[in-house]
Protein backbone atom coordinates (compact mmCIF):
# COMPACT_ATOMS: atom_id res chain seq x y z
CA UNK A 1 0.00 0.00 0.00
CA UNK A 2 1.30 3.42 -0.97
CA UNK A 3 2.46 5.82 1.72
CA UNK A 4 2.21 9.54 1.15
CA UNK A 5 5.23 11.63 2.14
CA UNK A 6 2.86 13.68 4.28
CA UNK A 7 2.22 10.58 6.36
CA UNK A 8 5.87 10.21 7.32
CA UNK A 9 5.63 12.03 10.57
CA UNK A 10 8.17 12.85 13.24
CA UNK A 11 7.27 12.20 16.86
CA UNK A 12 6.92 15.92 17.59
CA UNK A 13 4.61 16.46 14.65
CA UNK A 14 2.66 13.39 15.66
CA UNK A 15 2.19 14.66 19.21
CA UNK A 16 1.19 18.09 17.97
CA UNK A 17 -1.28 16.54 15.60
CA UNK A 18 -2.66 14.36 18.38
CA UNK A 19 -3.17 17.49 20.49
CA UNK A 20 -4.94 19.08 17.56
CA UNK A 21 -7.13 16.01 17.07
CA UNK A 22 -7.99 15.98 20.76
CA UNK A 23 -8.96 19.64 20.68
CA UNK A 24 -11.08 19.13 17.58
CA UNK A 25 -12.77 16.25 19.35
CA UNK A 26 -13.52 18.62 22.21
CA UNK A 27 -14.79 21.47 20.06
CA UNK A 28 -16.55 19.70 17.23
CA UNK A 29 -17.64 16.59 19.09
CA UNK A 30 -15.83 14.61 16.42
CA UNK A 31 -15.38 10.89 17.11
CA UNK A 32 -13.59 8.14 15.28
CA UNK A 33 -10.29 9.79 14.38
CA UNK A 34 -8.98 6.37 13.40
CA UNK A 35 -10.72 6.42 10.03
CA UNK A 36 -13.99 4.72 9.27
CA UNK A 37 -14.16 2.38 12.24
CA UNK A 38 -15.84 4.47 14.86
CA UNK A 39 -15.09 4.08 18.52
CA UNK A 40 -14.95 6.16 21.64
CA UNK A 41 -11.60 7.76 22.26
CA UNK A 42 -10.08 8.05 25.67
CA UNK A 43 -7.76 11.03 26.03
CA UNK A 44 -6.46 10.09 29.44
CA UNK A 45 -4.23 7.06 29.14
CA UNK A 46 -0.62 8.24 29.05
CA UNK A 47 0.02 6.07 32.08
CA UNK A 48 0.77 3.07 29.85
CA UNK A 49 3.30 4.97 27.77
CA UNK A 50 5.66 5.67 30.67
CA UNK A 51 8.07 2.81 30.07
CA UNK A 52 9.87 4.57 27.23
CA UNK A 53 12.96 6.59 28.03
CA UNK A 54 14.68 9.60 26.49
CA UNK A 55 16.59 7.34 24.07
CA UNK A 56 13.45 5.91 22.56
CA UNK A 57 12.43 7.72 19.40
CA UNK A 58 9.28 6.90 17.58
CA UNK A 59 9.90 5.09 14.31
CA UNK A 60 8.52 6.79 11.23
CA UNK A 61 5.21 5.73 9.70
CA UNK A 62 7.20 4.63 6.68
CA UNK A 63 9.54 2.34 8.68
CA UNK A 64 6.62 0.81 10.54
CA UNK A 65 4.61 0.08 7.39
CA UNK A 66 7.32 -1.01 4.93
CA UNK A 67 9.54 -3.23 7.12
CA UNK A 68 7.29 -6.04 8.31
CA UNK A 69 7.00 -9.72 9.07
CA UNK A 70 3.74 -11.14 7.75
CA UNK A 71 4.44 -14.48 6.07
CA UNK A 72 0.92 -14.66 4.64
CA UNK A 73 2.24 -12.12 2.12
CA UNK A 74 5.75 -13.54 1.72
CA UNK A 75 8.98 -13.89 3.67
CA UNK A 76 10.81 -10.69 2.71
CA UNK A 77 10.52 -7.57 4.85
CA UNK A 78 8.94 -5.56 2.01
CA UNK A 79 6.66 -8.39 0.80
CA UNK A 80 3.78 -7.54 3.17
CA UNK A 81 3.85 -3.93 1.96
CA UNK A 82 4.04 -4.95 -1.70
CA UNK A 83 1.76 -8.01 -1.77
CA UNK A 84 -1.13 -7.14 0.54
CA UNK A 85 -3.10 -4.86 -1.80
CA UNK A 86 -5.82 -7.47 -2.49
CA UNK A 87 -6.52 -8.24 1.15
CA UNK A 88 -9.99 -7.10 2.29
CA UNK A 89 -10.10 -6.09 5.96
CA UNK A 90 -13.72 -4.89 5.79
CA UNK A 91 -16.26 -6.14 6.71
CA UNK A 92 -14.71 -8.14 9.56
CA UNK A 93 -15.91 -10.25 12.44
CA UNK A 94 -14.17 -12.23 15.17
CA UNK A 95 -15.41 -15.61 16.32
CA UNK A 96 -15.33 -16.02 20.10
CA UNK A 97 -15.45 -19.71 20.98
CA UNK A 98 -14.54 -22.41 23.49
CA UNK A 99 -14.88 -22.24 27.27
CA UNK A 100 -17.00 -19.08 27.51
CA UNK A 101 -20.55 -18.10 28.42
CA UNK A 102 -21.04 -15.87 25.34
CA UNK A 103 -19.84 -17.65 22.19
CA UNK A 104 -20.55 -15.44 19.18
CA UNK A 105 -19.34 -13.96 15.92
CA UNK A 106 -18.79 -10.36 16.89
CA UNK A 107 -18.88 -7.74 14.17
CA UNK A 108 -15.80 -5.51 14.46
CA UNK A 109 -17.68 -2.25 13.95
CA UNK A 110 -20.06 -3.23 16.76
CA UNK A 111 -17.22 -4.33 19.01
CA UNK A 112 -15.50 -0.97 18.53
CA UNK A 113 -18.59 0.85 19.77
CA UNK A 114 -18.30 -1.06 23.05
CA UNK A 115 -14.64 -0.33 23.80
CA UNK A 116 -12.50 2.73 24.35
CA UNK A 117 -9.65 3.30 21.92
CA UNK A 118 -6.44 4.39 23.63
CA UNK A 119 -2.99 5.51 22.49
CA UNK A 120 -0.19 3.16 23.49
CA UNK A 121 3.40 3.88 22.48
CA UNK A 122 5.26 0.56 22.79
CA UNK A 123 8.58 -0.95 21.88
CA UNK A 124 8.32 -3.92 19.53
CA UNK A 125 11.26 -6.36 19.72
CA UNK A 126 11.50 -9.07 17.05
CA UNK A 127 13.27 -12.33 17.88
CA UNK A 128 15.47 -11.56 14.85
CA UNK A 129 17.03 -8.82 17.03
CA UNK A 130 15.58 -5.71 15.40
CA UNK A 131 13.18 -3.36 17.16
CA UNK A 132 10.94 -0.34 16.68
CA UNK A 133 8.89 2.11 18.75
CA UNK A 134 5.29 2.27 17.54
CA UNK A 135 2.39 4.56 18.50
CA UNK A 136 -0.55 2.15 18.45
CA UNK A 137 -4.22 2.82 18.87
CA UNK A 138 -6.17 -0.03 20.43
CA UNK A 139 -8.01 -1.30 23.48
CA UNK A 140 -7.13 -3.73 26.25
CA UNK A 141 -7.74 -7.34 25.25
CA UNK A 142 -9.32 -7.75 28.69
CA UNK A 143 -12.33 -5.75 27.42
CA UNK A 144 -13.06 -8.37 24.77
CA UNK A 145 -12.44 -11.15 27.29
CA UNK A 146 -15.12 -9.59 29.50
CA UNK A 147 -17.58 -9.73 26.60
CA UNK A 148 -16.72 -13.42 26.03
CA UNK A 149 -17.19 -14.12 29.77
CA UNK A 150 -14.83 -17.10 30.20
CA UNK A 151 -15.61 -20.12 32.37
CA UNK A 152 -13.21 -20.76 35.25
CA UNK A 153 -11.84 -23.74 33.28
CA UNK A 154 -10.48 -21.37 30.56
CA UNK A 155 -6.76 -21.07 31.35
CA UNK A 156 -5.33 -20.04 27.97
CA UNK A 157 -6.43 -18.20 24.85
CA UNK A 158 -5.56 -19.13 21.28
CA UNK A 159 -5.70 -16.55 18.47
CA UNK A 160 -6.14 -17.49 14.82
CA UNK A 161 -5.31 -15.40 11.72
CA UNK A 162 -7.76 -15.48 8.83
CA UNK A 163 -7.12 -18.11 6.12
CA UNK A 164 -7.66 -16.57 2.66
CA UNK A 165 -5.13 -17.92 0.19
CA UNK A 166 -6.76 -15.96 -2.65
CA UNK A 167 -5.99 -12.68 -0.86
CA UNK A 168 -2.83 -13.79 0.97
CA UNK A 169 -0.43 -15.20 -1.62
CA UNK A 170 1.98 -16.60 0.99
CA UNK A 171 -0.76 -18.99 2.17
CA UNK A 172 -0.54 -20.78 -1.20
CA UNK A 173 2.97 -21.88 -0.23
CA UNK A 174 3.98 -24.02 2.72
CA UNK A 175 6.11 -21.28 4.30
CA UNK A 176 4.43 -22.00 7.65
CA UNK A 177 1.50 -24.17 8.64
CA UNK A 178 -1.65 -22.11 8.03
CA UNK A 179 -3.54 -20.49 9.55
CA UNK A 180 -1.05 -18.68 11.80
CA UNK A 181 -1.96 -19.31 15.44
CA UNK A 182 -0.67 -17.89 18.72
CA UNK A 183 -1.55 -18.14 22.38
CA UNK A 184 -1.35 -16.50 25.78
CA UNK A 185 -1.98 -17.63 29.33
CA UNK A 186 -5.14 -16.04 30.73
CA UNK A 187 -3.27 -13.77 33.16
CA UNK A 188 -1.02 -12.54 30.32
CA UNK A 189 -4.07 -11.96 28.13
CA UNK A 190 -5.83 -9.89 30.79
CA UNK A 191 -2.71 -7.88 31.71
CA UNK A 192 -3.40 -4.18 31.10
CA UNK A 193 -0.41 -3.84 28.73
CA UNK A 194 -1.89 -6.42 26.32
CA UNK A 195 -3.93 -4.72 23.63
CA UNK A 196 -5.80 -5.42 20.44
CA UNK A 197 -4.71 -2.74 18.01
CA UNK A 198 -6.79 -1.28 15.19
CA UNK A 199 -4.55 1.61 14.19
CA UNK A 200 -1.20 3.32 14.39
CA UNK A 201 -0.16 6.96 14.05
CA UNK A 202 -3.88 7.75 14.04
CA UNK A 203 -4.58 5.77 10.85
CA UNK A 204 -6.46 2.49 10.57
CA UNK A 205 -3.99 -0.37 10.39
CA UNK A 206 -2.73 -0.99 6.87
CA UNK A 207 -2.95 -4.55 5.59
CA UNK A 208 0.76 -5.17 6.12
CA UNK A 209 0.43 -4.22 9.81
CA UNK A 210 -2.35 -6.73 10.48
CA UNK A 211 -5.56 -4.96 9.45
CA UNK A 212 -8.13 -4.67 10.73
CA UNK A 213 -7.17 -5.96 14.19
CA UNK A 214 -4.05 -7.52 15.71
CA UNK A 215 -2.60 -8.39 19.06
CA UNK A 216 0.22 -6.36 20.66
CA UNK A 217 2.07 -7.86 23.67
CA UNK A 218 5.02 -5.51 24.18
CA UNK A 219 7.10 -7.65 26.59
CA UNK A 220 7.18 -10.66 24.23
CA UNK A 221 8.99 -11.25 20.95
CA UNK A 222 7.09 -9.80 18.01
CA UNK A 223 5.88 -13.12 16.64
CA UNK A 224 3.44 -13.44 19.56
CA UNK A 225 1.68 -10.29 18.25
CA UNK A 226 -0.52 -12.12 15.75
CA UNK A 227 -2.09 -10.15 12.91
CA UNK A 228 -5.53 -10.06 11.22
CA UNK A 229 -7.26 -12.09 13.93
CA UNK A 230 -10.43 -13.93 12.92
CA UNK A 231 -10.99 -16.27 15.91
CA UNK A 232 -10.25 -16.28 19.60
CA UNK A 233 -10.55 -19.62 21.39
CA UNK A 234 -10.71 -20.07 25.14
CA UNK A 235 -9.11 -23.38 26.14
CA UNK A 236 -7.99 -25.29 29.23
CA UNK A 237 -4.52 -26.36 27.99
CA UNK A 238 -1.56 -24.52 26.52
CA UNK A 239 -2.54 -24.12 22.86
CA UNK A 240 -0.40 -24.58 19.78
CA UNK A 241 1.49 -21.57 18.45
CA UNK A 242 2.86 -21.47 14.90
CA UNK A 243 6.57 -20.82 15.53
CA UNK A 244 6.86 -23.03 18.60
CA UNK A 245 5.19 -25.88 16.68
CA UNK A 246 7.60 -25.43 13.81
CA UNK A 247 10.84 -25.19 15.82
CA UNK A 248 10.16 -25.90 19.51
CA UNK A 249 13.82 -25.66 20.49
CA UNK A 250 14.07 -22.16 18.98
CA UNK A 251 10.73 -20.57 19.87
CA UNK A 252 9.02 -21.25 23.18
CA UNK A 253 5.38 -20.69 24.06
CA UNK A 254 6.21 -17.84 26.45
CA UNK A 255 8.78 -16.01 24.33
CA UNK A 256 9.25 -13.20 26.78
CA UNK A 257 12.03 -10.89 25.59
CA UNK A 258 15.01 -12.24 27.52
CA UNK A 259 18.48 -10.78 26.99
CA UNK A 260 19.99 -13.68 28.98
CA UNK A 261 18.64 -16.55 26.88
CA UNK A 262 20.07 -16.60 23.36
CA UNK A 263 18.34 -17.98 20.32
CA UNK A 264 20.39 -20.93 18.97
CA UNK A 265 21.41 -18.84 15.94
CA UNK A 266 21.66 -15.31 17.29
CA UNK A 267 22.31 -13.44 20.53
CA UNK A 268 19.42 -11.77 22.30
CA UNK A 269 21.72 -9.48 24.32
CA UNK A 270 21.50 -6.57 21.89
CA UNK A 271 19.24 -5.33 19.13
CA UNK A 272 19.21 -2.94 16.19
CA UNK A 273 16.56 -0.27 16.38
CA UNK A 274 15.32 0.23 12.82
CA UNK A 275 16.74 3.55 11.62
CA UNK A 276 19.82 3.38 13.87
CA UNK A 277 23.29 1.97 13.23
CA UNK A 278 24.64 1.45 16.72
CA UNK A 279 23.24 -1.62 18.46
CA UNK A 280 21.55 -1.08 21.79
CA UNK A 281 21.20 -3.37 24.78
CA UNK A 282 18.05 -5.46 24.95
CA UNK A 283 16.17 -4.92 28.19
CA UNK A 284 14.62 -7.78 30.21
CA UNK A 285 10.98 -8.14 29.20
CA UNK A 286 11.71 -5.47 26.57
CA UNK A 287 11.73 -2.80 29.30
CA UNK A 288 8.42 -3.84 30.88
CA UNK A 289 9.96 -5.92 33.70
CA UNK A 290 8.45 -3.88 36.49
CA UNK A 291 4.96 -4.32 35.09
CA UNK A 292 5.04 -8.01 34.15
CA UNK A 293 7.75 -9.99 35.97
CA UNK A 294 5.28 -11.01 38.73
CA UNK A 295 3.45 -13.12 36.15
CA UNK A 296 6.46 -15.46 36.01
CA UNK A 297 7.42 -15.59 39.69
CA UNK A 298 8.94 -18.96 40.54
CA UNK A 299 9.22 -20.01 36.88
CA UNK A 300 12.61 -20.95 35.42
CA UNK A 301 12.65 -18.65 32.39
CA UNK A 302 15.50 -20.63 30.81
CA UNK A 303 13.21 -23.62 30.72
CA UNK A 304 10.04 -21.68 29.89
CA UNK A 305 11.61 -19.50 27.18
131: contact with ligand MTE by CB under 6 A: no
CA of residue 110 relative to chain centroid, distance: 21
Q: Which is nearer to ligand MTE, 133 or 235 (CB)?
A: 133
Cα end-to-end span (Å), the chain: 35
Region 5-44 residues binding ligand MTE, contact defined as CB under 6 A: none
The residue number whose beta carbon is nearest to ligand MTE equals: 222
Q: Which is nearer to ligand MTE, 63 or 97 (CB)?
A: 63
| Pairwise CA distance, residues 266 & 15, whole Å | 36
ω into 91 cis (within 30 of 0):
yes
Q: Which is nearer to ligand MTE, 126 or 148 (CB)?
A: 126
Distances (CA, A) of 221 to 131, 213, 302: 10, 18, 15
Contact code string over 75-114 relative to ligand MTE, x by CB under 6 A? ----------------------------------------
Could you tell me which of 69, 57, 51, 56 has the C-alpha nearest to residue 120?
51
Q: Which is nearer to ligand MTE, 71 or 254 (CB)?
A: 71
CA of residue 221 relative to chain centroid, distance: 10
Region 49-68 residues binding ligand MTE, contact defined as CB under 6 A: 68
222: contact with ligand MTE by CB under 6 A: yes
Indicate which single residue of 14, 33, 61, 71 sits in contact with ligand MTE (rule: CB under 6 A). 71
| Pairwise CA distance, residues 287 & 257, whole Å | 9
292: contact with ligand MTE by CB under 6 A: no
The strand ranges marked E within the chain are 40-41, 93-98, 104-107, 116-125, 130-140, 156-161, 181-185, 195-200, 203-204, 214-216, 229-235, 270-273, 280-281
For residue 277, the minimal CB distance to ligand MTE (Å) is 20
Indicate which single residue of 14, 33, 59, 72 sits in contact with ligand MTE (rule: CB under 6 A). 72
Q: Which is nearer to ligand MTE, 41 or 227 (CB)?
A: 227
Region 251-290 residues binding ligand MTE, contact defined as CB under 6 A: none
For residue 175, the minimal CB distance to ligand MTE (Å) is 8
- Residue 66: in which H helix or E strand, if any? helix 61-66
Cβ atoms of residues 286 and 268 within 8 Å: no
| Pairwise CA distance, residues 245 & 253, whole Å | 9
For residue 228, the minimal CB distance to ligand MTE (Å) is 6
For residue 246, the minimal CB distance to ligand MTE (Å) is 11
Interaction site with ligand MTE (CB under 6 A): 68-72, 124, 126, 161, 180, 209, 222-223, 225-228
Amino acid sequence: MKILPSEITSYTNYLNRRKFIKSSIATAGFLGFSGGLEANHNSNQDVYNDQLDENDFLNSYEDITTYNNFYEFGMGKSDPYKNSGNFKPKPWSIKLEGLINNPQDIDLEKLLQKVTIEDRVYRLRCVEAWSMVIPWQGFPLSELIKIADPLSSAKFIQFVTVFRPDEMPGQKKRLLSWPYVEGLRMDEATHPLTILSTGLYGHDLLNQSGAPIRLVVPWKYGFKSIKSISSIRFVDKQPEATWSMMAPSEYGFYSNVNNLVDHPRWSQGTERRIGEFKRRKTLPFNGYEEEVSYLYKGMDLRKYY
